[in-house]
């Protein structure tokens, strides 16, 4: 038994699942587990492009929650997959994903649900809640990411490289000579090149940079899993597509519009040493969101499975289970 097993709920299997047609030729995978009559909660995975896994079900008490997981457009078990040679991400934007959540909610005949999201999942959760606040009972968010220019520049254009110089050198090896401010764009050309000899090494370098910097102590197993070519290609392409377009937001939009969340109880869990999504963004959100609660985990980076972060997240879902 691992340390995470002591915090998480036991493993469970879905009692229902399916592929939902959301238009534009896209179908998203969804599943439901836990108590069919329990409190609805939807888990929004990171990336964008990351996909869900069985461990995400275990963040919720299965006797009290109706646990909904989905793979967002282009990744996981959803189709078409962004790793395909002719992948078209034209209709893969934040606002399409927000509407996909509404289609899924209506399909499952859910009136309101708790929304849980970490990293990019926090971005999507905020975009959804600010658009449909009447559909959200609570928010549980981790590793806040709002795609402001400063956040993208910090992580991809040089800032975080001062903390992980040897890892950033591997990231830069794919775009030699490209100056700061142009590296996300340079990767875009590589990732969407039709030749696998070009886009696969770029995708692996992109995902390895993220997986190797997400935990306080490097997790070699996680780094190796993230480098699998098909999933790395989908992950890197979708992320880069969103980042080139600044998340399809106006600058600072999610923080500026946080007042729309007033009246929605929420917990923000943030690792003190999160290099991927530094704590200043969580702090800015907390100050802009009336009534929010912010918990800083003193010995954690970005990943949700770090012990202190995981404990705080499960405590939050437990607290809201009977609300």
Report whether 137 contacts 323 (CB < 8 A): yes
Q: What is the pLDDT of residues 42-80, one digit of tens each?
A: 999 999 999 999 999 999 999 999 999 999 999 999 999
Q: Which two tokens stand for residue 154?
A: 């910090």
Number of C-beta neighbours around residue 220 at 10 A: 9
**Catalytic site includes residue 302:** yes
- What pLDDT shows up at residue 1? 44
What is the rounded (10 degree) CA torsion for 18, 4, 50, 254? 100
The domain 4-147+250-321 having CATH identifier 3.30.413.10: the answer here is: no
Q: Which residue has the tokens 């390895």?
A: 208
Q: Evaluate if residue 2 carries a pLDDT over 80.
A: no
Instruction: Exactly one of 78, 83, 119, 214 is catalytic; name it.
Output: 119
Q: Which two tokens stand for residue 249?
A: 């937001």
- What pLDDT shows up at residue 137? 98
- What pLDDT shows up at residue 152? 98
Q: What is the pLDDT of residues 71-115, one digit of tens each?
A: 999 999 999 999 988 889 999 999 999 999 999 999 999 999 999
- What pLDDT shows up at residue 300? 97
pLDDT band for 128, please (50, 70, 90 cuts).
Answer: very high
Q: Which residue has the tokens 């079900």?
A: 57
Can you tell me the mean pLDDT for 15-30?
Answer: 97
Rounded (5°) CA angle 146-311-232: 50
Report whether 210 contacts 226 (CB < 8 A): yes
**Catalytic site includes residue 83:** no
Q: Are strands 266-271 and 293-297 parallel, antiparallel or unpaired?
A: parallel
Q: Which two tokens stand for residue 68?
A: 């909904």
Report whether 118 contacts 281 (CB < 8 A): no
For the chain, the structural domain boundaries read 4-147+250-321, 150-247
Q: Evaluate if residue 3 carries a pLDDT over 80.
A: no
Distance from C-alpha of 233 to C-alpha of 146, rounded to nearest angstrom: 23
Lowest mean pLDDT among 16-30, 81-95, 282-296: 81-95
Can you tell me the mean pLDDT for 3-25?
Answer: 93
- What pLDDT shows up at residue 133? 98
% residues pLDDT > 70 (the chain) = 99
Report whether 75 contacts 81 (CB < 8 A): yes
Instruction: Exactly one of 45, 214, 274, 286 is catalytic; name it.
Output: 274
**Catalytic site includes residue 211:** no
Q: Which two tokens stand for residue 198?
A: 């070009």
Distance from C-alpha of 184 to C-alpha of 68, rounded to nearest angstrom: 33
Largest Cα–Cα distance of the chain, in whole Å?
57
Q: Evaluate if residue 4 carries a pLDDT over 90.
A: no
Comparing C-alpha atoms, which of 168, 106, 165, 97 is closest to residue 131?
A: 97
Can you tell me the mean pLDDT for 282-310?
Answer: 97
End-to-end distance of the chain based on CA atoms, in angstroms? 31
Output the average pLDDT for the chain.
Answer: 96
- Starting at the edge strand found earlier in the chain, the sheet holding 266-271 runs 16-23, 26-34, 65-70, 39-44, 113-118, 136-142, 266-271, 293-297
């Amino acid at each position: 038994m691992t340390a995470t097993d002591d915090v998480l709920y036991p493993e469970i299997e879905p009692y229902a699942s399916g592929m939902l047609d959301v238009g534009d030729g896209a179908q998203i995978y969804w599943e439901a587990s836990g108590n069919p009559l329990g409190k609805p909660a939807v888990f929004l995975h990171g990336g964008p492009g990351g996909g869900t896994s069985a461990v995400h079900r275990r963040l919720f008490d299965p006797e009290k929650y109706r646990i909904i997981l989905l793979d967002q457009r282009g990744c996981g078990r959803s189709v078409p997959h962004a790793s395909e040679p002719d992948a078209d991400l034209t209709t893969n934007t934040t606002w399409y994903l927000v509407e996909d959540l509404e289609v899924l909610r209506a399909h499952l005949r859910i009136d309101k649900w708790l929304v849980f999201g970490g990293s990019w999942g926090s971005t999507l959760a905020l975009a959804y809640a600010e658009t449909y606040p009447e559909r959200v009972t609570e928010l549980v968010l981790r590793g806040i990411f709002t795609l402001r220019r400063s956040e993208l520049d910090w992580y991809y254009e040089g800032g975080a490289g001062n903390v992980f110089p040897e890892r950033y050198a591997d990231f830069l090896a794919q775009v030699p000579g490209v100056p700061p401010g142009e590296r996300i764009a340079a990767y875009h050309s590589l990732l969407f090149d039709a030749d696998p000899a070009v886009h696969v090494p770029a995708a692996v370098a992109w995902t390895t940079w993220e997986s190797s910097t997400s935990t306080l102590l490097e997790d070699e197993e996680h780094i190796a899993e993230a480098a699998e070519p098909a999933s790395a290609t989908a992950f890197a392409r979708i992320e880069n597509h969103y980042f080139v377009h600044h998340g399809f937001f106006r600058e600072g939009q999610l923080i500026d519009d946080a007042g729309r969340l007033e009246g929605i109880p929420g917990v923000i869990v943030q690792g003190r040493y999160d290099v991927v999504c530094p704590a200043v963004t969580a702090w800015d959100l907390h100050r802009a969101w009336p009534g929010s609660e912010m918990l800083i985990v003193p010995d954690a980076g970005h990943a949700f499975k770090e012990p202190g972060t995981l404990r705080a997240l499960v405590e939050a879902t437990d607290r809201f289970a009977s609300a």
